[in-house]
Amino acid sequence: MNNQLAFEAINIAKYFGNFKALEDINLSSKQGQIFCLLGPNGAGKTTLVNMLSTLSEPTKGNLKVLGVDVVKNPQKVRELIGLAGQYAAVDEYLTGEENLYMIARLYHLSAREARVRTKQLLEDLRLTGAANKQVRAYSGGMRRRLDLGASLVGRPKILFLDEPTTGLDPRTRLELWEIIRRLVKDGTSILLTTQYLEEADELADHIAVIDRGKLIAEGTSKQLKSQLGGDVIKIELVRAEDADKVIEAVKDIASKTVYYDDSSKIVNVPVGGNGSKHLIEVVRALDKIGIITNSLALHQPTLDDVFLNLTGTKASELDNQEVPKKRKRK
Ligand SMILES: Nc1ncnc2c1ncn2[C@@H]1O[C@H](COP(=O)(O)OP(=O)(O)O)[C@@H](O)[C@H]1O
Ligand SMILES: [Mg+2]
């Protein structure tokens, strides 16, 4: 199975009644990589992960995990995968050790093998010190690590991690990143979903951006950033009311669509190469219309810029936003 793709989605759609949770999804990932599905709440990430993990069936299309058809052969797929869901799926009233041991026994390991495996996983996930505590006394980060441990008991070839770090503090997030990197180094293929651009930027070999059920961009972090075609000039306004005037004044300097972010009052002007020359043009254009700015600077594009440009929404604001505001202009 060495040349097999880790997973493959071909023309996948998933409908809940009339609601199209996913449509026209074509994706694939090589083995031994971290494939990152990036998107805001409600984008359809969990829906895809659930189908790949045999928990639900697609309305249309084909899904394969390591070459095995997920709908035709779910049992075989279950032997290949591990799933750590968005919500920790461990028993509160058992200790960490008891949870892992129980799962190991469910995987038909002998009592001895189960003890060895449990001990090893507790060590790998740095939970040895908390092994004998009830899970309800665990911190969020410890639970998440235990949940990851539970998904690793069966030594999966491919691991699905659905928002593994959502809600975790930065330090705990870094710890989980380390664990995830180690798993990949040991040969596990990973599909990870996240709403965090830094996470995708940091971990992913390949990123697929989805928004409201559609695939909107795909590539390495570098490729996605270069879609914006080079540098971005950021004009921080003093008054939000000036936005339309400023956009109008600079739109001919821009190499791509100018996009405005309400919350930071920043007009973003993608300018391609030769950024400093364009910076001067922007200064002249603003001077001509008599606009004073808080700041004006030339930036390398970030994934946040990519996202804002694609969806009209800043990724850091996505958490509680149901319907992203569209404020793209040309
Ligand atoms: N069982 C279901 N029945 C109806 N709608 C659902 C169901 N599961 C998910 N959805 C809807 O599908 C969309 C995608 O959900 P989900 O895959 O959970 O998004 P994400 O994981 O990216 O936050 C959401 O609008 C959600 O409300
Ligand atoms: Mg989800």
Tell me if 1 is assigned to some domain: no
Are both 133 and 255 inside the same structural domain? Answer: no
Q: For the chain, what is the domain count? A: 2
Token pair recorded at residue 62: 């084909």
Question: Which of 252 and 229 is assigned the larger pLDDT?
Answer: 252
Nearest to 197 by CA among 53, 28, 311, 295: 311
Q: Is 183 helix (H, G, I), strand (E, B) or coil?
A: helix
* Ligand 1 midpoint to CA 87 (Å): 15
CATH number where 193 lies: 3.40.50.300
* Ligand 2 midpoint to CA 110 (Å): 35
Quick one: pLDDT at residue 224? 86
CATH number where 295 lies: 3.30.70.980
> Which residues have C-beta within 8 Å of that of residue 71, sequence separation ≥ 6?
57, 58, 62, 63
This prediction has a pTM of 0.81
Alpha helices in the chain (DSSP H): 45-52, 74-80, 96-106, 111-124, 140-152, 170-185, 197-203, 221-227, 243-250, 275-288, 303-311
Are both 113 and 165 inside the same structural domain? Answer: yes
Nearest CA, atom 26, ligand 1: 42
Asked if residue 42 has its Cβ within 6 Å of ligand 1, the reply is: yes
To the nearest whole number, what is the mean pLDDT of the chain? Answer: 89
Asked if residue 40 has its Cβ within 6 Å of ligand 1, the reply is: no
Tell me if 2 is assigned to some domain: no
Domain boundary among 219, 246, 276: 219
- For 45-79, the pLDDT digits (tens) are 999 999 999 999 999 999 999 999 999 999 999 99
Are both 41 and 83 inside the same structural domain? Answer: yes
Nearest CA, atom 18, ligand 1: 46
* Ligand 1 midpoint to CA 42 (Å): 6
Q: How far apart are CA 30 and CA 12, in angstroms?
A: 18
Asked if residue 41 has its Cβ within 6 Å of ligand 1, the reply is: yes
Angle at 191 between CA 83 and CA 187, to 5 degrees: 90
Are both 135 and 266 inside the same structural domain? Answer: no
Domain boundary among 219, 248, 268: 219
- For 269-285, the pLDDT digits (tens) are 988 877 889 999 999 99
Q: Which of 26-35, 118-127, 293-302 has the lowest mean pLDDT?
A: 293-302
Query: Which domain does 260 fall in, by range?
Result: 225-329
